[in-house]
Amino acid sequence: MSSARYNKPSASNARRGSKRITRVAAHRREAGRAWHRLWEAPAATLVTVLIIAIALLLPSLLLSLQHALTGGLHELQSEASLSVYLQADTHPDSASQVSERILTMEVVAAVATISPSEALAQLAIDTGLGDTLDALGSNPLPFTLVVQIDDARNGNDDLNSVAQAVASEIRGLEHVESVVVDGEWLRRLDALTNVLTRATQLLAILVAVGLLTAIGNTIRLAVEQRRDEIRVSKLIGASDSTIARPFLYTGLMLGLMGGLLTWGLQVLVVGLVSLEVGQFLALYNADAANPAVERGLNITQLGLDALILGLIGAGIGWVAAFFSCRRAIQACEP
């Protein structure tokens, strides 16, 4: 008796293990059938995969561009500076006193003094109007102080807010004519990046809806082509979930191949335009080799990107197949 009771759990576990193996084998068989059916019509399969890839490519590229711009902006915004213009008749000794007074401020890292002669010489080089500037007779440019804000000393405060506070304090000093907080264009570019991010999100939603419709129609047509086979399967007792398996695998495979093709096209396009984007950021002294920019420009994340795009495509394909084939199979009554 005790021996019989001891052997029952082992037999039950063996049966459960056998059922699991049977289910896995059934899924492998259905996946193989779905794969072979896809390539029975290679032209239609390739067209569907290409449509999926092109649809996913645009939001993927916009996301890469947004990552690149965000990385460059974060680096530029970490280096706030002020341009302090002194009054035209300021003596060099007074300019030095103002510079020393600014250096005593807690968040100021450095102050560079540009004399009127140095500013005029640089202007002549930048504009190529050296002869015209020499003809002026007198130098109209004032002393300029370039103030660098120390990011390490501002705590958790926004760097732009700290720069604005320092500018207000400097405006109250003697001999100061005006103060300009550099980087206003950065805030405009940051706002443009936010708009790009929101547009990418909305476009991704529209693309997902479009792909659900396109893949769903493809699966629905496949169900219609096998209507007689589905009716026979129902007559011999096959459940709707069993009949749906190959169609679910078909949608999953179409989406997976489309996602991987999107990754390949993205690598190609990003490789072609990465040099131009790097040159654009270099115009504003941004280092295109920092990690945040590398994610958008370079191919250091190839494996992760391929995995993400493949999973996104496969997920969209499976969901589209699930909802489209479910109703179509239910309509195929024997």
Of residues 284 and 44, more confidence is placed in: 44
Q: What pLDDT, in 10s, does the model give residues 237-256?
A: 878 888 888 889 999 999 99
Q: Is residue 23 part of a domain?
A: no
Token readout for 201 is 């999100």
Please report whether residue 321 resides in a domain: yes
Position 1 pLDDT exceeds 50: no
Q: Is the pLDDT of residue 157 over 50?
A: yes
Report the CATH number at residue 166.
3.30.70.3040
Whether 325 and 297 map to the same domain: the answer is yes
Residue closest to 143 by CA, chosen among 97, 94, 85, 96: 85
321 and 215 assigned to the same domain: yes
Q: Which residue has the tokens 């213009």?
A: 85
Three-state DSSP at 39 gives coil
User: Does 224 share its domain with 85?
Assistant: no
Distance of CA 166 to the CA centre of its chain: 35
Phi-psi region of 184 (alpha: psi -120 to 50; beta: other; left: phi over 0): alpha
Looking at the fold, whether 51 and 113 belong to one and the same domain comes out as: no
Residues 106 and 204 in one domain: no
pLDDT band at residue 288 under the 50/70/90 scheme: very low
Q: Is residue 227 part of a domain?
A: yes
What single-letter DSSP state applies at residue 87? Answer: P
157 in a structural domain? yes
194 in the same domain as 166: no
132 plus 276 within the same structural domain? no
Report if pTM > 0.85. Answer: no
**314 & 222 share domain:** yes
Q: Is residue 3 part of a domain?
A: no
Domain boundary among 129, 162, 182: 182
Last residue of a domain, one of 126, 147, 182: 182
Tokens found for residue 158: 């926004």
pLDDT digits (tens, 9 = 90+) for 160-214: 677 788 888 888 888 898 888 876 666 666 677 788 888 888 888 999 999 999 8
Question: How many C-beta neighbours within 10 Å does residue 76 have?
Answer: 19
Regarding whether 145 and 249 lie in a shared domain, the answer is: no
Q: Is there a domain that residue 2 lies in? A: no
Residues 59, 126: one domain? no
For 76-90, the pLDDT digits (tens) are 555 567 889 998 888
- Please tell me whether residues 102 and 148 are part of one structural domain: yes
Residue 179: strand pairing partners = 84
Residues 136 and 208 in one domain: no
> Which residues span the domain enclosing 176?
81-182
- What SS3 class is residue 334? coil
Enter the DSSP assignment of 151: G
What is the total count of domains within the chain? Answer: 2
Q: What per-residue confidence (pLDDT) applies to 121?
A: 81
d(CA 206, CA 226): 31
The yes-or-no verdict on residue 91 having pLDDT over 90 is no
Check residues 10 and 95 and name the one with the higher pLDDT.
95
- Domain end point (choices 141, 161, 182): 182
User: Is 9 within the bounds of a domain?
Assistant: no
Q: Kindly state whether residue 21 falls inside one of the protein's structural domains.
A: no
Distance CA 289, CA 278 (A): 9
Q: Is 180 helix (H, G, I), strand (E, B) or coil?
A: strand
Residues in the chain: 334
CB 261 within 8 A of CB 50: yes
Provide the H-helix boundaries in 39-149: 42-77, 92-103, 116-127, 130-134
